[in-house]
Chains A and B, each alone.
Chain A
Amino acid sequence: MLLVDWLYVGVFLVVGLAMAALPLAVVWALAPRLAQPQKRTTYESGVVPFGQAWAQFNVRYYLFSLVFVIFDVEVIYLYPWSIVFRQYGRYAFFVMLIFVGILLLGLIHAWRKGALEWT
């Protein structure tokens, strides 16, 4: 039964959260709390912190995550295909050849446009 399957997952999630939160509760009860303002400064190798941590970052990070999202979406179609394609034989293979071929074109395009270069 489907819902029973996922009941187990739900229980696993709840119990997992509880198990992970338990040591935090123990820490809250046991661990010392010494009010020393220096402790709570941002760590910057011992130097007094300067400037904002939230600075400007490289646009590369965005390009990589963009290509990732597009290819991750492709996976949506590959999973169902992978478990039924046997029944359809060559037809299913050619369908997937077209699908993966188009996406490989996309990968080559991204590659040639330099979206996959870090430097």
Chain B
Amino acid sequence: MGQLAAFIILSVVTLVSAVVVVASQNIVRSALSLIPTLLGIAGVYILLQAEYVAGIQVLIYAGAITVLILFVIMLTEHGTGARFRQVNEQVLPGTIAVAVLAALLMAVFFGTAWPRAAGTLPQYTATSIGTTFLTSAILVFIVTSFVLLVALMGAIVIARRER
């Protein structure tokens, strides 16, 4: 019961602020309401016993990616972007497409009998995540560092002023 109540509160926070992200005409408000969305999702992760993922969600998404987005908005839009039209002419087709997709996904999710494998999640997951990274996910671990390197190099090349 308590978990369900917590889930409902978190979902409402997440979805309401996500609607603001999507619909606000003021691009800065959009970016700032990403933060409650992301924090709400962090709460959902905790309900799913993924506290390390939740901590990283706050640290990386709310603390780093949002800052990057805010910086770019300040550098490009001359402020709130209220002077410009923010939506294109695809609002109606977009709404229809999204509604159809939502209906399809819901139908699939409700129509499937999800299997359940044996076993239980460990109570605290940070240690097990470390173990996974050093054993079965070792390739992911190393490849990620290459991805980060390439992203860093690429983004610097793209963003730097040509001389």
Contact = CB atoms under 8 A, between A and B. Distances in A.
Contacts, number: 140
A52 B152 contact: no
Interface residues of A, number: 51
Given A52-B78, A84-B134, A103 B149 contact: yes
Interface string B119-137: 0000110110111011000
Interface stretch (A18-26, A32-40, A41-49, A94-102): A94-102
Interface in A13-70: 52-57, 59, 61-63, 65-70
A113 interface: yes
Interface of B: 3, 6, 43, 46-47, 49, 51-52, 56, 59-60, 63-65, 67-68, 71-72, 74-75, 77-80, 123-124, 126-127, 129-131, 133-134, 138, 141-142, 144-146, 148-149, 151-153, 155-157, 159-161
B7 to A, nearest CB: 11
A113 B159 CA distance: 11
B142 to A, nearest CB: 6
Contacts of B161: 59
Interface of A: 1-3, 5-6, 10, 52-57, 59, 61-63, 65-70, 72-77, 79-85, 87-88, 91-92, 95, 98-99, 102-103, 105-106, 109-110, 113-115
B152 to A, nearest CB: 5
A1 B56 CA distance: 20
Contacts of A62: 68, 71-72, 75, 159
Contact of B134 (A56, A74, A92): A92
Contact of B151 (A53, A70, A114): A70
Contacts of A69: 60, 64-65, 68
A112 to B, nearest CB: 10
B156 A98 contact: no
A50 B56 CA distance: 42
A79 B157 CA distance: 29
A85 B127 CA distance: 10
